[in-house]
Structure 1
Amino acid sequence: MKKVLFIALAVAMASPIQADWAQAIKAHQTQNYQAAKEHFQKLIPYGHADAAFNLALMYLQGEGVSADESMAIAYFTLAEKLGHHGTAEGLAQLRQLVSAEQLALAEQHFLTLAQHAKWWLLPEQGPAKTVYLPARLKGDYPIYPINAFKAGVVGYVNVRFLVDEQGKVATADVLDAYPEHTFNKSALRAIKDWQFEATGEKYIRFWRFDFKLNETLDIDAVAALIEQHQLWRGAWLGSSHHQFLLASLLELLDTQKDLLIVVDPTLPVEKELDLTVFTPKAKVRANFAGFVGHAEVQVAADGTITEQFNVHFAAENTLESLIGLKLSGKPDATYRYRLSKASTSSRRPINVIPIVTIPASLTSRFWWEKAARNGSKSAQRIIAVYDERWAQILIAEQDAETMAWFAGRTIINGEYQAGHELLDAAIAKDYPTAHELKKHLQSMP
């Protein structure tokens, strides 16, 4: 239990949010329609289809506003285009009940509303291209803070940093950490001494430091804390506060390196909390010689390999196939296993890790995205790293942290004037890392 003590503290320490779906619904249920309207409208730029749908109902029924069928049609149209299910039929019927003048006015209203949600009405971008990441040549991992070590606290820190032409880390900050502030200084102190392959170019990179003790994370204790603070229930009810904290705990579970976690988007989302998939599995070994490379295998009950997938044999490998070979220990036929070995010269044995498949609802990314939609600025900053639409939204809202790092990337990509103007704007907001970025990027024209 000691290893998750700070989880309970973090629940109490979490910062308030600016706009929240749960608050909007509560205001509506208590007939505080003005507050409900304001909350719903703040969520529109985040592509919140349910917020648009509820605003449509408010205008249709005259709740806190004058009944306005044209405005209702505009919001229903926006909700449909943002992906709200079950809107099309009712919208079609409503359109038949109003005049041509009302339809024309509804179209004008929609065009105005669409500007507020413009980033979510554009075609989705394809997956990001695979980018070569230079190897780390040297640098120690962070020192475990003594107080955290004594208390048995575990956690992680996601760090974002600028690497210069010589492969040295020029500046860095913390994108996300759990528990908040516990490991930040140690992580930043370590990363600033790291050395990567020199590329002759600057680039921005990310790294997650996992702070783990020898003991395995107590999955039951994590589940109990989620239940104690009703994080799962609150997350499904739409509270960005609960969603963000739940995402942090799921990211913490992902730090367990004795599992290879694969997300299957086709699996149904879990409405009941079940973390048993994260439970550590029995140790399994591959004692056969000649294997170098990586592969996934399926085994029989006695550990015999019956199928192999995604096989990559390195040049040093002497095996033609893995089928028929045997894993020892306590293999489980319900799982696949990933085998990997870098070189025959390595004294380390073949690494064997069980592969577990989970639905998206058991991932941090799933709940960070929901928290972002529901108004969490911290979640929006995290998701902006993966989705440029969020970066553009945060820049429009003058978020200094996002402005600074997006400016850095813009300058590196050759858009010097726009990048430096944006970076100067972040500096004007006195974001400390913006000053550091300016110092290291000012030589770029």
Structure 2
Amino acid sequence: MRKITLLALLISAFTTRADLLTALQAYDKKDFAKAAVEFNQLIPLASDQAAFNLGAMAYNGEGQPRDLVKALSYFEFAASRQHTEAKTLADKIRPTLSAAQLAQADAALQLLQQQVQVDQASDKALAAMAEPDRLPLKRVPPQYPKKAASLGVFGSVTMRLLINEQGDVEAVDVLNAYPKGLFENDAVRALKRWKYQPGDSKSISRVMLTFSIGEIDHRKVQRIFTEHKLWEFSALGSPTHQNALANVLQLARTQSDSTQFVDKTLPPALGPLNREFVAEAKTVANELNLPAGYQLDTFVSLDEKGVVTAVHDDNPERLQQASAILLHKQLTHQDVPAGFYRLQSAFAKKSARLRQAQRIPQTYSNDYWLEQAARGGNLDAQRALAALQPEWEMYLLKQQDPVVQSWAGTRLILDGKKAEGEKLLDAAIAKGHATAKELKAVL
């Protein structure tokens, strides 16, 4: 049988904590023992690539005797996380094994599944992490660093913040930033001068601030992709590049008002982005024939008569609701070409609008690459997801991450569990996390 090739690369310029890149570098140097240890450390994160690589090493007999039973268990694990090549190989190996060997592979697969600490988040889990929506009354734009201006660099900083009862920002933590080390200080200084709506109690929120000189068009985005080889190294499995790619794609999609629908049935693609992806979305119709009180925001396909031929939504409940209301209905009598659109509606019928939109593969989605980076071991991506998903928060709490300890502790105190919350804040303070000290002082 032919040898299976791992997606290996060597990037000596990056020094990171143990992650997928560390494992791939070890493999590239034929240090199979270290590679196996590093790959196995990513199984609790349900990394399909790490599992695939472990399966390939068992299949090829690298650093171990050739073991098809072990290979099958890892390939099955990776296939259950949507790794297509792993599924193909598992289907190829399965018929060659005896009933006893298949039982052994299944038992090994069950042990792998039991190690998973962070699996796919459900909509209910995401809802459980929803934070109070207090609108800002005063936004202070950040200063654009001279160094960034001289280089023509654009970027973003994602932060978590504590707002007091009067609407003042009392503490800020940086969760993720692109590029790292350039915009964070200016972003924090600006956010601390924002003013929010007053509330009955303190609350936690999240903000992403963007930095750019002029519009972020597709040429600027493409230059970043080309200079840093973001598509190439992300596809090879570098979590550092995947996190950077997620941040750049988020900036691009924000520029276009997020009028892209991530269609997981489309084949994966790796750039380049077209002009429309980054450009501001165009409104093609405002006078729409919508039922009174319609408030959904979804994507639709229209024929040449403005009739809805399909409704698109990644949330099954919203899809069912929107389809019952919109399917086969004529939305507009205006001259609108047949095509794919985003239907946006607020509380009044007159505010509904139809905007040009695109169907994109998940490899053009910032969420996809952020999750890939997190499952590959990138701490910044994990912290960003921990602010949204309880599974990632629990995982990083087990790792005693001071940033997550600080905000989980703050939330516990706000929920009336002062002793538990202060214990987490004290642990973060002991690790030297300055924001934890700020939070404890105002809680």
TM category, shorter: 0.7 to 0.9
* Aligned-partner Cα distance in 2 for 1:342–1:69: 59
Note if 1:248 corresponds to 2:247: yes
Query: Aligned pairs, how many?
Result: 404
How big is the alpha-carbon RMSD for the aligned residues of Structure 1 and Structure 2? 4.5
* Aligned-partner Cα distance in 2 for 1:240–1:110: 25
Q: State the SS of the aligned residue for 2:41.
A: helix
Q: Percent identity?
A: 31
* 130-139 or 250-259, which deviates more: 130-139
Deviations, residues 164-210 of structure 1 (Å, cap 9, x unaligned) = 23333221122222233433233222322333333323321111223
Q: Which residue in the other structure is 1:336 paired with?
A: 341
Deviations, residues 212-269 of structure 1 (Å, cap 9, x unaligned) = 44x4323124224323432212211212122122212212212315663333334332
Deviations, residues 360-416 of structure 1 (Å, cap 9, x unaligned) = 211211111111122212222122222222222222222211222222223333444
Q: Larger radius of gyration, structure 1 or 2?
A: 1
Q: Which residue in the other structure is 1:324 paired with?
A: 333
Letter of the structure 2 residue corresponding to residue 87 of structure 1: A
Deviations, residues 49-103 of structure 1 (Å, cap 9, x unaligned) = 3433443554566532467788667656755666652536735754635599xx5
Q: Which residue in the other structure is 1:174 paired with?
A: 174
Unaligned runs of 5+ in 1: 1-11, 311-320
* Aligned-partner Cα distance in 1 for 2:57–2:411: 42
* Aligned-partner Cα distance in 1 for 2:280–2:135: 30
CA contact (8 A) 1:157 1:178 kept: yes
* Aligned-partner Cα distance in 2 for 1:219–1:178: 17
Q: Which residue in the other structure is 2:43 paired with?
A: 44
Q: State the SS of the aligned residue for 1:391.
A: helix
Shift of 1:357: 3.1
Letter of the structure 2 residue corresponding to residue 119 of structure 1: Q
Q: Which residue in the other structure is 1:3 paired with?
A: none
Q: CA separation of 1:333/1:226 partners in 2, compared to 1, >3 Å: closer, same or farther?
A: same
TM-score, length basis structure 1: 0.72
Q: Which residue in the other structure is 1:208 paired with?
A: 208
Matches within 5 A, 1:219-258: 219-257=218-256
Q: Which residue in the other structure is 2:99 paired with?
A: 96
Note if 1:17 corresponds to 2:19: no
* Aligned-partner Cα distance in 1 for 2:121–2:73: 20
Q: Which residue in the other structure is 1:144 paired with?
A: 143
Q: Which residue in the other structure is 1:118 paired with?
A: 116
Q: CA separation of 1:33/1:337 partners in 2, compared to 1, >3 Å: closer, same or farther?
A: closer
* Aligned-partner Cα distance in 2 for 1:440–1:262: 41
Matches within 5 A, 1:178-189: 178-189=178-189
Letter of the structure 2 residue corresponding to residue 19 of structure 1: A
Note if 1:87 corresponds to 2:90: yes
Shift of 1:271: 4.3
* Aligned-partner Cα distance in 2 for 1:110–1:249: 36
* Aligned-partner Cα distance in 1 for 2:141–2:22: 40
Letter of the structure 2 residue corresponding to residue 382 of structure 1: A
Q: Which residue in the other structure is 1:412 paired with?
A: 414
Structure 2 residue aligned with 1:388, among 371, 387, 390? Answer: 390
* Aligned-partner Cα distance in 2 for 1:99–1:159: 48
Q: CA separation of 1:251/1:87 partners in 2, compared to 1, >3 Å: closer, same or farther?
A: same
CA contact (8 A) 2:282 2:356 kept: no
* Aligned-partner Cα distance in 2 for 1:92–1:356: 42
Q: State the SS of the aligned residue for 1:430.
A: coil
Structure 1 residue aligned with 2:363, among 361, 370, 381? Answer: 361
Q: State the SS of the aligned residue for 1:244.
A: helix
Q: CA separation of 1:235/1:221 partners in 2, compared to 1, >3 Å: closer, same or farther?
A: same
Letter of the structure 2 residue corresponding to residue 45 of structure 1: P
* Aligned-partner Cα distance in 1 for 2:179–2:21: 24
Q: State the SS of the aligned residue for 1:87.
A: helix
Q: State the SS of the aligned residue for 2:205.
A: strand
Letter of the structure 2 residue corresponding to residue 129 of structure 1: A
Note if 1:129 corresponds to 2:131: no
* 405-414 or 420-429, which deviates more: 405-414
Letter of the structure 1 residue corresponding to residue 434 of structure 2: P
Q: CA separation of 1:332/1:185 partners in 2, compared to 1, >3 Å: closer, same or farther?
A: farther
Q: Which residue in the other structure is 2:326 paired with?
A: none
